[in-house]
């Protein structure tokens, strides 16, 4: 039996002639004919031009052929192939046969230069001058929206348009993924220059913001209200769904493009801890689907930010590329209408560097935080159960009220809210323990308590900090005198000037160590130069200094 695949397969013209002559020679004996078939392992390779090819926009002549030379091996076939002219085919379509061919910026060419694609798609043939060759490959092409629009407006390309299956490939909407695009550029720049933290994110976030659209979700809320009617007989469930929709509407109305970009990136910290339940799967899906056809199809491309990085890296005297330089370059490259997007980028940058600077300036260790949180939870649990607590110093059981009142005053909790706050923290910790099946980390179980303690402990250290002396010492410090990543030595002495200089060394060392630990690389974090710029920025900028200097 002849395999069905061989029966259905269609040979090229030359192979068909060879097959027919062989069958004629062997009087139709198919088995004898197949002994001439050689099976070759086929390796696809773009570099070697086997089964894969790419056509650049500037290439006009894609196909060529030349008569095959009669070497010794071919002369042996002359009896079988008498009168048949053999050709050698050249060009991208010949290289791509039995594979795929990709046309870069395919519609940069005129419609006359694209007409050969009609026969390639419809009839599986390509013209090589005077000879038509059978081909079998998948045809791909990339284009931009303006070029695609011009094609749609060209009446002469209707036949080609009808045979195109469009696959939209929008720009990325996750700024974390967008950062990965620039990693090869950053690795190359770091061979001669340092790239400060947040520099790449500044550009990546702006690019993503320029591609987003504001959410309204009118269709989603209309459909949800219609679906909600089925629960009218169940008042509790109806009211629950109605309340959920109201809170979702409130989130959508207030959601900025920056918050939407964070949502796409999986960062939900902009939503308070007690409201994350509104982010249902259906709600998140509706947000992503609302502008699927337009989000990512316009806005800044990755090439645009790569050019900015290229300009900054060309300055040989600039040994450290930082977010301030990136921000300035973006501002120069954009119009006034994009300033509100830049303001969002600056808002996000301020939020990040304020937190980093606080941790470097006012050291609050993790063990201290954990000790205070666990102490509060222990006494709050005893309060809820109406039990006493063992005092480690007095070696006796005491009422938890005194300890809790003192801690709640430190945490700035109003007296009328303290009882509810205690019960709430105990319930949340217990719920997390049940869900985890073991004792959870307090940071994850009661993050609001953890954050409140961090804020108050930081504030207590901040209130004792001498900002004026520190800024004077920071101005005198010249990072150019030191190795960019060297450990700074504290200044010996006991005077106020020496103490301030020691504080500068401590803070810059903290900035450098913490960022290096977060990135896993010394050069991936701050150097002494960019650390100084960041500290000076947060302590003097009107939008950030209020977090540090009391009364500002």
Average model confidence (pLDDT) across the chain:
85
Shared-domain flag, residues 50 and 33: no
Tell me: do 9 and 26 sit in the same domain. Answer: yes
The pLDDT, as a whole number, for residue 84 is 66
273 and 381 co-located in one domain? no
HSE of 29, CA atoms in CB hemisphere, 13 A:
8
Lowest-pLDDT range of 59-63, 70-74, 431-435, 444-448: 70-74
Query: pLDDT value at position 479?
Result: 66
Residue 496 located in a structural domain: yes
Averaged pLDDT for residues 470-497: 77
Segment among 37-46, 299-308, 402-411 with least mean pLDDT:
37-46
Distances (CA, A) of 240 to 76, 218, 231, 272, 431: 87, 20, 10, 19, 21
Structure tokens at 534: 């960041």
Among 77-86, 441-450, 528-537, name the one with the lowest average pLDDT.
Answer: 77-86
User: Based on the domain organization, do 380 and 420 belong to the same domain?
Assistant: yes
The pLDDT assigned to 269 comes to: 79
For CA atoms 344, 347, 353, 359, the dihedral sign is: negative
Measure Cα distances from 33 to 6, 37, 183, 480 in Å. 13, 8, 57, 81
Number of domains in the chain: 5
189 in a domain, yes or no?
A: no
> Same domain, yes or no, for 138 and 77?
yes
| pLDDT value for 520 | 81
CATH number, domain with residue 125: 3.40.50.300
Question: Could you tell me if residue 300 is inside a domain?
Answer: no
Task: Give every CB contact of residue 102 below 8 A, 6+ residues apart in sequence.
Answer: 53, 54, 55, 140, 141, 142
Tell me if 59 sits within 8 A of 31, measured CB to CB: no
- 226-250 tens-digit pLDDT: 888 888 788 888 888 888 899 899 9
What is the distance between the alpha carbons of residues 339 and 481, in angstroms, rounded to a whole number?
Answer: 37
Q: Which residues contact 106 (CB under 8 A, 6 or more apart)?
A: 57, 114, 141, 142, 143
- Let me know whether 48 and 135 are in one domain: yes
Residue 310 lies in a domain: no
Polymer length of the chain: 552
Give the tens place of pLDDT for each residue, 435-451: 888 888 888 888 889 88
CB atoms within 10 A of CB 120: 18
Q: Judge whether 332 lies within some domain.
A: no
Give the whole-angstrom CA distance, residue 431 versus residue 429.
Answer: 5
Is 338 domain-assigned?
no
**CB half-sphere exposure, 377, CA atoms < 13 A:** 24
The answer as to whether 536 is a domain residue is: yes
Q: How far apart are CA 398 and CA 367, in angstroms?
A: 25
Task: Identify whether residues 18 and 70 lie together within a single domain.
Answer: no
3-state secondary structure of 498: helix
pLDDT at 273: 61
Among residues 427, 459, 491, the one where a domain terminates is 459
Contact call for residues 219 and 288 (beta carbons, < 8 A) = no
Those residues with Cβ within 8 angstroms of residue 101's Cβ, 6 or more apart along the chain or in another chain: 52, 53, 54, 55, 92, 93, 137, 138, 139, 140
Residue with tokens 């259906």: 282
Boundaries of domain holding 469: 465-547
Supply the pLDDT for residue 80: 56
Q: For 170-199, what is each residue's pLDDT tens digit?
A: 899 999 999 999 999 999 999 889 999 999
Mean pLDDT of all residues in 368-380: 90
Instruction: Please determine, for residue 312, whether its predicted confidence score (pLDDT) is greater than 90.
Output: yes
| Percent share of the chain, pLDDT over 70 | 91
Is 409 among the domain residues?
Answer: yes
Q: Are residues 452 and 508 in the same domain?
A: no
DSSP string, 297-336: TSS--HHHHHHHHHHHHT-TT--EE-HHHHHHHHHHHS-G
Cα–Cα nearest to 468, from 514, 500, 490, 434: 500
Residue 82 pLDDT: 55
Listed residues 161, 179, 206: the one ending a domain: 161
Tokens of 114: 């694209």
User: 392 and 500, same structural domain?
Assistant: no
Dist CA 158 CA 164 (whole Å):
10
Tokens representing 535 are: 């500290």
**390 phi, psi to nearest 5 deg:** -75, 120
The pLDDT of residue 318 is 85
Residues 116-128 have a mean pLDDT of 82
Q: How many CB atoms lie within 10 A of CB 65?
A: 17
What pLDDT, on the 0 to 100 scale, is given for residue 114? 76
Query: Are 24 and 95 in the same domain?
Result: no
Do 157 and 64 belong together in one domain?
yes
User: Phi, psi (5° rounding) for residue 128?
Assistant: -110, 75
125 with 52, same domain: the answer is yes
Domain boundary among 145, 161, 177: 161
Residue with tokens 């947040």: 198
Please report where in the chains the tokens 């900002």 appear, as a residue.
467
């Amino acid at each position: 039996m002849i395999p069905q695949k061989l029966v259905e397969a269609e040979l090229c013209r030359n192979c068909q002639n060879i097959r027919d002559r062989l069958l004629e020679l062997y009087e139709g004996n198919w088995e004898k004919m197949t002994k001439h078939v050689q099976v070759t392992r086929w390796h696809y390779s773009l570099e070697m031009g086997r089964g894969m090819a790419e056509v650049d926009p500037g290439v006009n002549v894609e196909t060529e052929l030349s008569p095959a030379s009669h070497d010794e091996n071919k002369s042996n076939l002359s009896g079988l192939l008498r009168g048949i002219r053999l050709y050698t085919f050249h060009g991208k379509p010949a290289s791509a046969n039995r594979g795929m061919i990709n046309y870069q910026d395919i519609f940069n060419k005129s419609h006359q230069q694209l007409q050969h694609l009609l026969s390639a798609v419809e009839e599986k043939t390509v013209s090589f001058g005077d000879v038509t060759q059978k081909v079998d490959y998948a045809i791909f092409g990339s284009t931009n929206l303006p070029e695609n629009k011009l094609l749609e407006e060209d009446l002469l390309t209707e036949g080609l348009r009808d045979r195109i299956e469009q696959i939209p490939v929008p720009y990325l909407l996750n700024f974390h993924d967008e950062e990965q695009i620039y990693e090869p550029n950053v690795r190359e720049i770091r061979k001669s220059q340092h790239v400060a933290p947040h520099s790449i994110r500044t550009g990546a976030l702006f690019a993503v913001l320029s591609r987003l659209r504001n959410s309204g979700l009118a269709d989603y809320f209309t459909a949800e209200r219609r679906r909600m009617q089925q629960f009218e007989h169940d008042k509790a469930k109806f009211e629950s769904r109605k309340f959920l929709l109201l809170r979702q509407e409130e989130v959508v109305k207030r959601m900025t493009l920056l918050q939407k970009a964070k949502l796409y990136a999986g960062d939900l910290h902009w939503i308070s801890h007690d409201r994350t339940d509104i982010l249902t799967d259906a709600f998140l899906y509706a947000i992503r689907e609302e502008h699927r056809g337009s989000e990512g199809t316009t806005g800044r491309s990755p090439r645009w930010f790569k050019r900015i990085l290229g300009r900054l890296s060309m300055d040989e005297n600039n040994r450290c590329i930082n977010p301030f330089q990136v921000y300035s370059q973006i501002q120069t490259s954009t119009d006034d209408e994009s300033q509100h997007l830049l303001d969002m980028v600056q808002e996000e940058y301020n939020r990040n560097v304020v937190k980093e600077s606080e941790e470097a300036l006012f050291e609050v260790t993790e063990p201290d935080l954990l000790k205070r949180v666990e102490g509060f939870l222990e006494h709050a649990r005893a309060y809820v159960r109406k039990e006493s607590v063992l005092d480690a110093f007095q070696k006796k059981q005491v009422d938890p009220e005194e300890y809790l009142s003192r801690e709640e005053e430190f945490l700035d909790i109003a007296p009328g809210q303290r009882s509810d706050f205690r019960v709430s923290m105990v319930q949340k910790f217990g719920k997390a323990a049940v869900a985890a099946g073991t004792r959870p980390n307090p940071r994850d179980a009661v993050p609001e308590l953890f954050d409140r303690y961090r804020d108050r402990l930081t504030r207590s250290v901040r209130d004792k900090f001498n900002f004026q002396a520190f800024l004077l010492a920071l101005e005198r410090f010249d990072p150019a005198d030191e190795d960019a990543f060297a450990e700074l030595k504290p200044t010996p002495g006991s005077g106020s000037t020496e103490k301030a200089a020691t504080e500068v060394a401590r803070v810059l060392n903290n900035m450098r160590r913490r960022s290096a630990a977060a990135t896993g690389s010394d050069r991936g974090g701050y150097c002494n130069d960019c650390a100084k710029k960041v500290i000076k920025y947060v302590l003097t900028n009107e939008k950030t200094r209020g977090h540090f200097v009391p009364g500002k």
